[in-house]
Amino acid sequence: MIRPQRNYIILFGLLGVISMFFTFQLQFGFSLEQFFPEGDEDLEYYRDFVDEFGTDVNFLMVAIKRNDGVFEEQFLNNVHEFTVKARSLPHATESVSLTTISYPLKTPFAITTVPAIHRNNPKKYEKDKSRIMGDERFAGNLISHKGDALVVALKTEDILDLDASAELVNAIDTLAANYNFDSYHLLGPAYFQKEMVRMQKREVTVSAIVSGILVSIILFWIFRRLQGILIAMVSIGLGLLLFMGILGLTGRELNAMAALYPVLMIIVGTSDVIHIMSKYIDELRKGFDRQAAIQTTIREIGMATLLTSLTTAVGFATLMSSRVIPIRDFGMNAAIGVVVAYITVIFFTTSLLVLFGTDKLMKIGKSQLFWENLMEKAYQVTRDRQGSILIGTIIVTILCAWGISMVSTNYSIESNLPRGEKITSDFQFFEKELTGFRPLEVAVYAQGDYLADDYEVLMEVDKLETYLRSLNTLGGVNSLTSVYKSINQMEKGNRSSAYRMPDSEKTFLRYKKMTDKIPENSISILLSKDQKKTRITSRILDLGADSIQIISQDIDRWIAANANPSIVQYKQTGTGLVLDKNAEYIRRSLIGGLGVAILIVSLLMALLFRNIKMVIISLIPNVFPLLMAGALLGFLGIELDAGISIVFAVIFGIAVDDTIHFLSKYKLSRNNGKSVEESLHITFLETGKAICLTSIILFFGFLVMLFSIHPPSVNIGLLISLTLVSAIISDLFLIPPMIRWLDKEK
């Protein structure tokens, strides 16, 4: 072995050991804020709103269920004890439930309180239940609509990292284990963060193992020699290890897209390895010695592989223009991974290959003849049935346009939750039995000389609240009016019908003097310090981004038609609204990013082929996989969300690889004086097999993601696998007719 080649093997071995250490330093993270579109004006407004009123996601809800109904003495006492003890849990600042809430009661002597539930007096349970279930403040918020679950609402510290979230959730689980509850359900950002990170770790491990097993089987089917399989597997595994080590070394946090990295690195590395090994074996079979064979392989396939790696990296890098952090990070990390895979193959794999001859790397037999016969038939089809290919292309294009017209961006939170996991069933419980998760906030601005707690302003607010409550998709509507409604109810003997705004301003002003006795922190979350702004809080069901946008527009229309703009102005905000802005940016960034990718790839093609006709030939076949991906979204009913949007960059980046390998071989043959037909024939026989083999690996490699419990990952794997089938068909059956049309014999 030549010394530099031996040095490369030693160097990469050392890098592998170092990378193994840093791989164990990888950090995982998840938060809803990651999916906020950076730079959006609504996001900036929301952040200012949070600074003034506090965040709307510093909570953790525990719904404790009793199948036979919550009004049972022992159960109520257990819930009360749980509520009190929860106040001392780490990172919890407050804890309330119906067992700790009392109604104010005015007597001739003083103002006293009456418990919402008389825990130790079962005779009053029926009356308590009737009053509570008719109270809009409690039904659906602190007690389920069926009356079979009580909610313990915890207020948490504003910003909880992963460790703090896990500590709080684990403490709740430990506390709940002390009671014989039928079941309990959790909902809140801390719970989301803990469970989604756990899922990410599981996904990375499973995808790496299953992908490795699958690739091993395919490599055995291809090479049928232990040495060939080991060289390929070691090269692919080393590339993945180096990539993960780089992520750990640079402190890059793995987020919701992390499960894609092992699959991506394994299949990209496998593609590079197969092209290199196939060419090396072909050169050995032609009678060249090992050193000459590896030099030819690096010169011809190495350059093509470099270009394919660059185009793939460009495809991923276009995602860095996204305003959504997980998408942007995925684009950068994936681009780095592609480069790492190429460097590993071109230096490490080639250094290993020169140690072995053909008989050690691959068993030549019936499989080789099978591929040669298959490629021969494919070549003849492109030569003899060009009219049929043209008609088929037109039909497929029309079908794709139809499918694309059906694409929806009505994605929901539930569609991104892991299948069969407790976090999903918990989320569904709150959606069906309580008010749900998604906050919907309305900022209220007093106009002119009015203050936000003036009678005229709050009467306007009450009008909007009444409208919001009429929408069966909203719940938990609350505002500063609830303070005055509660006082009015107290003044009128706590009758349910008296929970309303006072009838006159004179009465309101009298009530206003009584608010001085209310703790300041209870008012500060509803009223700004300058008393010019207040808020309406509510929760909306997880109907999907597009459906919620329609409801939001209906609210704006009602405000325009019914609010008095000289008294009050409104603006919707909240985490839900900001998250849903992703739908709009996904459309923009998807088109813009692909446009940039196509432009850059066109420039690279122009540099390689120095022929505008070849640039056109190289691009058109790669548009069809993108059309196919869009059509599949429509036909399969898969919503286009932030995660799914990466499919197009992955498809374009990978699909163009086979095109480059095909055209590079064709160009070499033409440069050697071969005719168009001879060059196409040679390209089919020599490069066609490698393209098909890598496509098979890509197909099954991404199908590995069907083992995922994360629905977006399943959809991504299915879409990419099916679309890459269309990519290989486009390359083999569209490129030859286009070459015959544009690259005429001189």
Cα–Cα nearest to 504, from 523, 494, 522, 491 = 491
Q: What DSSP state is assigned to residue 72?
A: -
pLDDT beyond 70 at 367: no
Return the CATH number of 3-32+194-405+582-742, one of 3.90.550.10, 1.10.287.610, 1.20.1640.10, 2.40.50.100. Answer: 1.20.1640.10
CA 538, CA 542: separation in Å to the nearest integer?
13
118-132, 273-287, 457-471: which has the minimum mean pLDDT?
273-287
pLDDT beyond 80 at 481: yes
Name the token pair of 699: 């197909």
Q: Rounded mean pLDDT of the chain?
A: 83
C-alpha neighbours within 13 Å on the C-beta side of residue 455: 12
CA 464, CA 485: separation in Å to the nearest integer?
15
For the segment 727-731, the average pLDDT, to the nearest whole number, is: 86
The string of pLDDT tens digits covering residues 376-386 is 898 898 888 88
267-281, 361-375, 663-677: which has the minimum mean pLDDT?
361-375
Angle at 655 between CA 650 and CA 660, to 5 degrees: 130
Q: What is the pLDDT of residue 468?
A: 92
% of the chain surpassing 90 pLDDT: 19
pLDDT beyond 80 at 361: no
pTM for the whole thing? 0.80
Q: What is the pLDDT of residue 162?
A: 83
CA 484, CA 480: separation in Å to the nearest integer?
8
Q: What is the pLDDT of residue 360?
A: 73
pLDDT beyond 80 at 9: yes
Of the pLDDT bands very low, low, confident and very high (cuts 50, 70, 90), residue 585 is low
% of the chain surpassing 70 pLDDT: 91
pLDDT beyond 90 at 363: no
**681-713 as b/e: b if 16+ CB within 10 A:** bbbbbbbbbbbbbbbbbbbbbbbbbeebbbbbb
Q: What is the pLDDT of residue 386?
A: 87
Owner of token pair 């990013």: 593
Question: Same fold for the domain at 3-32+194-405+582-742 and the one at 58-187?
Answer: no
Residue spans of the domains in the chain: they are: 3-32+194-405+582-742, 58-187, 430-575
5 or 345, which is more confident = 345
The string of pLDDT tens digits covering residues 629-655 is 888 888 988 888 777 777 777 777 777
Name beta bridge partners: 478.
537
Of the pLDDT bands very low, low, confident and very high (cuts 50, 70, 90), residue 569 is very high
| Topology (CATH) of 430-575 | Alpha-Beta Plaits (3.30.70)
Q: What is the pLDDT of residue 107?
A: 55
The domain over range 58-187 is classified in CATH as 3.30.70: yes
Name the token pair of 492: 């009128």
pLDDT beyond 50 at 1: no
